[in-house]
Amino acid sequence: MDSWDVSTLDVEVHKPAVLHSNPGAARLIAINLPAGEKLGEHQVHEHAYLVVTTGRLEIEHQGGTTDAGPGFVAHWEPHERHEVRALEDSRFVLLLAPWPGEGHYTENPS
Instruction: Classify residue 28: in a domain, yes or no.
Output: yes
Per-residue pLDDT at 106: 66
DSSP class per residue in 4-28:
--GGG----TT--EEEEEETTTEEE
How deeply is 12 buried, as exposed, middle or buried, from its count of CB atoms within 10 A (0-12, 13-18, 19+)?
exposed
Number of domains, the chain: 1
CB atoms within 10 A of CB 102: 9
Per-residue pLDDT at 109: 47
CB atoms within 10 A of CB 73: 12
Per-residue pLDDT at 75: 97
Per-residue pLDDT at 107: 54
Per-residue pLDDT at 102: 85
Instruction: Classify residue 88: in a domain, yes or no.
Output: yes
Per-residue pLDDT at 105: 75
Instruction: Classify residue 92: in a domain, yes or no.
Output: yes
Report whether 91 contacts 31 (CB < 8 A): yes
Please state the pTM of the whole predicted model: 0.89
Report mean pLDDT in 10-residue bins for the chain, 110 residues: 92 94 96 96 95 97 94 96 97 96 68
Q: Give the domain range for residue 53.
A: 13-97
Instruction: Classify residue 8: in a domain, yes or no.
Output: no
Beta bridge partners of 58: 67, 85
